[in-house]
Structure 1
């Protein structure tokens, strides 16, 4: 090759000889002419055709078959022999003899293969429910190398899989089917149940509406907990900018805005942003659902659960005020007082109440479906079906299963239009009342149009339940067909006739299960003496 060549010069030889056809040369920054790493070599397919094949030319060894090269030969030994036992890294593209590897191989691996320089070092990788070992890494001197936490087994980054549709988001008061003492392993499950919807924040409320729930997690040193009464510290005052997820020192004053203001609005007194206020009648304050987290046990272990998050009932705000906190900055404090008919879960009476109801930790990994509370099929359940006389001591036989009471069963019997629905519900077994309600509201009585619990329910001839306004809109736009199965529903009449229809039996059932159901529109019809006799079996005067 000449020492110097004009820029972008191409050298041509006879193509039929199979020699170099074109080598692109370029001038380097120093003025020297160098060859590019890759050139194209023309080869001839003898006796077939004159089409050429592109062959990559190594700029380091000129493709010499016996010239050692770490670029086109084995990266370790440089030799180009034994092609059948040579591996190419799927990341960097280098070649390796199987015999030359630090850990020699005798069998060609299946799938992708990576050299030791490209292979992921699992010692630096967080694997689910395993500890991160940094003792032998370059980060061994960092504080994180001494941590003992098992990463990957929690729910810190999990998202909700459903939303509670039994009651509205701003519903104040208890959630139907959820009793005092019910507990959840993770906060995300508390959010899905509707008890406390924010998966992270401690206050559920806004600056325009009263708060409906809080979680006690011992986040502020000013918190005081005496069980039936506690002093709750408002939110804010910590610098959480950047990656400061858990600031330990308050750096500025709390303000009566956003969630703090929502707590003030729940108190039966005018909002006072300067000094706070005291309720004239604390029982007139808006009810707030209170949950205690196991984290609160660091300061008040006698009232906090040992694990997860527990619902402790309804409380009301007696007063709220502003004062200087431990850090020297102002905080807003709220005095809560318990006002719930169900016993507190830390008392002996409350513990018996929990046992009687069969309440247990809400966990999707247990024998109950974490989403619906439906009892999962198991071998022990099959054994129960095989054994006609009982005597089974299995865990499934001891598990309490929710069954509608006699009054509710009589209301269900009267709902002839939904006989298939109630038959399906009776065939399944539910461990809790909340699981029963969730399956009913989401699986059977969820409107397919608005995706909410049916309001002013209309039952079609094909057995589907749809909101009256939603069905009228569907019929107006798409004709007289069921939005779910597309069956002809012309027998229900015109849209004007449909507006007057409501499955009152279903409304009565839903009001019995969900006391707040249909408050804005539902009416309570008068029950005639004949209807009363049919429902209760009492004698009817003729």
Structure 2
């Protein structure tokens, strides 16, 4: 059943349930969140209104759900109590901090992405001083919003507002948006939204905070168990565990899940790790295998003989719209999805847990009520045949192979290897598959037990285990750091040169909004002159300008190349991203190891200083020396060389 709604009084002292204004003697104030509650409207009667340690239902639920052991409290309650115990804060400041903590704004501030902070520090519009919207980068390396740039140039000002560097007339009339910077800003914002959880709101409860039984919340839209949530997983096996649940995976009872155990609901069966899906009868993955099945009478082709049974695969029915309970087959089944997972378990010889439901009315071995765990079986064959409804179905032969006796027998020991039964329908079957290799789960004659003859498949899912709140917090911090490092790496890839495809060194931005390394761009036009001399009949004509086309578009950038300026803002951001990525990837050294060899530290520092000096010299030389034209001995440009270069 859904829990009864309990609400406190509002800011004006009016009870949100009965809509009355109770007196001071008729209210209780929570010692944790300092919220007044109407005593008459509380579902559980309070002991006295004069208690100083009374906690409201919200705070007490947090303590009960988050504390497996007595005396422990959840992180939220501890944080609120710390705020209340801080004597340096006023009542107004305490209320504001409590509100930020409960609303999640405090966590958002802590989870702010460093990549976004770097962008805010290095890229600002020179007019509005905000992160550029539709950024435009001038040849001098300064950034503007498109609207701010157009407002500036429409006033007839063709110089940069920050450094007074000349802006080309074509760029002023038709500015180009820097697509690399747009992609970097978008990526950083998306990574921040993913880190802070603002894109998708989920209502999830950690396993250790769930109750011991399936439950419904106030958000349930229907009565009963239609919108119920699973209770706490009571075993430590992962969701894709093969074989029986042993005692070492049962921290509650220390016995494991025994054959013959019964449950009322699928939710309870899930809590003990026997069968995880709430509705589906098959639990498995196509390329990994099937872990468990449920016999619930969903297909009329099923045949149950106790120690072996014939199982029908899933699919073949139209479940679209409101046909979720349609039992009429309308197309053929294929070996895919869940059906393929069963065939994969047949191929490898994996054990499959079997649960029988009381809904299987045609079986003599089904329980009278609820669900019952009947041990592990092994799939020996699978095939396809035409079913009773005229469409092809996937069929599987299950044979029991458990160390515990079946619930319907009085034997003292488990199963022994038995010959396969004769299946008459195999005569007209197609796509017959039978295992050719030795099974992974088999009977050991020397030990007289069924066990793994081959190592079980490695789990692909996390283990269900209760963790301490501080461990969960540390894991979240580690995940957040990894996501930040990944976002920085992706951000660096966005700032790659269009020529060498590597992260830019000494980046320059052309008037057509393309980014290159300065050395790559100079090397592209090395040996070419900006003008060429002309003569006709011994008469010297006016020199002609040579067109130098941008490597990424048909724009002439010859004027820009005569005095190409390094984009200092982009350079600083790239250097910061590289340094932070090195720090994140560097292994943590112990203080003892760092103190053992101080000479290595000095060598590293000296090499870094030398590298920095060399880069500074190269940067100064690149700024001071634009590409020079090639001339002959008389000081004139070689016309033949120019013709060959232009032809090329």
Give TM-score scaled by structure 1 length.
0.35
Q: Which structure exhibits the higher relative contact order, with contacts defined as CA atoms closer than 8 Å and separated by 6 or more residues?
A: 2
Structure ranking higher in helix proportion: 2
